[in-house]
Chains A and B, each alone.
Chain A
Amino acid sequence: MLSKTGIPTKDQVASRFPDRVALIKPKAILECYEDIPCNPCSTSCPFNAIEIGANINHQPKLHTDLCTGCAMCVPSCPGLAIIIAQIRGHEAVFKIPYEFLPMPEKGEIWHAIDRSGEIIGDAKIERVQINQTNDHTAVVTAVVPIEHLETFVTVRKKV
Chain B
Amino acid sequence: MKTKDLIIIGGGPSGLCAAKMAVEAGISVLLIDRSPELGGQLIKQTHKFFGSKAQYAKTRGFDIANILINQVKDHPLLEIMQNATVVGLYQDKVVTVYQNDTYMKFQARAVIVATGASEKFLAFENNDLPGIYGAGAVQTLMNLYGVLPGQEIMMVGSGNIGLIVSYQLLQAGVKVKAIIEAAPSIGGYKVHASKIRRLGVKIYTQTTVKRAIGKEQLEAVELVSLDENWKAIPGTERIESVDALCISVGLSPMHQILSMVGAKTKYVAELGGFVPVISDHHETSVEGIFACGDAVGIEEASSAMMEGYLTGLYASEYFGKKHPNHQELLSKYEHELGMLRDGPFGIKTKIGLEKLRKGETNAE
Contact = CB atoms under 8 A, between A and B. Distances in A.
A43 B52 CA distance: 9
A76 B50 CA distance: 10
Interface string A20-35: 0000000000011111
B200 A117 contact: yes
B191 A34 contact: yes
Contacts of A6: 186, 190, 193-197, 203
Given A34-B344, A38-B57, A117-B199, A3 B191 contact: no
A43 B197 contact: no
B339 A56 contact: yes
A38 B50 contact: yes
Interface in B152-200: 170-171, 184-186, 189-200
B348 interface: no
B170 A7 contact: no
B50 A31 contact: no
B186 A56 contact: no
Given A4-B186, A38-B52, A78-B50, A57 B343 contact: yes
A120 B355 CA distance: 50
Contact of A37 (B58, B184, B340): B340
A76 B192 CA distance: 15
A37 B170 contact: no
A107 interface: no
A153 B59 CA distance: 24
Q: Residue among A36, A39, A115, A137 with the most chain B CB within 10 A?
A: A36
A8 interface: yes
Chain A's interface size range is 35 or more
A114 to B, nearest CB: 7
Interface in A60-85: 76-81
Q: Residue among A38, A39, A76, A114 with the most chain B CB within 10 A?
A: A38
Nearest to B343: A57
A150 to B, nearest CB: 14
A126 to B, nearest CB: 20
A116 B50 contact: no
Given A3-B186, A115-B198, A37 B339 contact: yes
Chain B's interface size range is 35 or more
A99 B171 contact: yes
Contacts of B49: 78
Nearest to A44: B58
A1 to B, nearest CB: 8
Interface in B338-358: 339-346
Contacts of A39: 51-52, 57
B51 A80 contact: no
A34 B196 CA distance: 16
B198 A117 contact: yes
B205 interface: yes
Nearest to A117: B200
B53 interface: yes
Given A4-B185, A79-B191, A79-B192, A36 B198 contact: no
Interface in B135-152: none
B343 A113 contact: no
Contacts of B171: 99-101
Nearest to B206: A4
15 contacts: A4-B185, A5-B197, A34-B191, A35-B344, A36-B345, A37-B343, A37-B346, A39-B51, A44-B58, A57-B344, A78-B48, A78-B50, A78-B58, A117-B202, A154-B198
Interface of B: 47-53, 57-60, 63, 170-171, 184-186, 189-203, 205, 302, 339-346
Given A3-B186, A39-B51, 20 more contacts: A3-B185, A3-B190, A4-B203, A5-B193, A6-B197, A8-B190, A36-B191, A37-B51, A37-B52, A37-B302, A57-B344, A76-B58, A78-B49, A100-B170, A101-B171, A115-B194, A115-B198, A117-B201, A136-B60, A156-B199
The 9 residue pairs across chains A and B that have the minimum distance between CB atoms: A79-B191, A57-B343, A6-B193, A6-B197, A117-B200, A78-B48, A40-B58, A38-B50, A3-B185
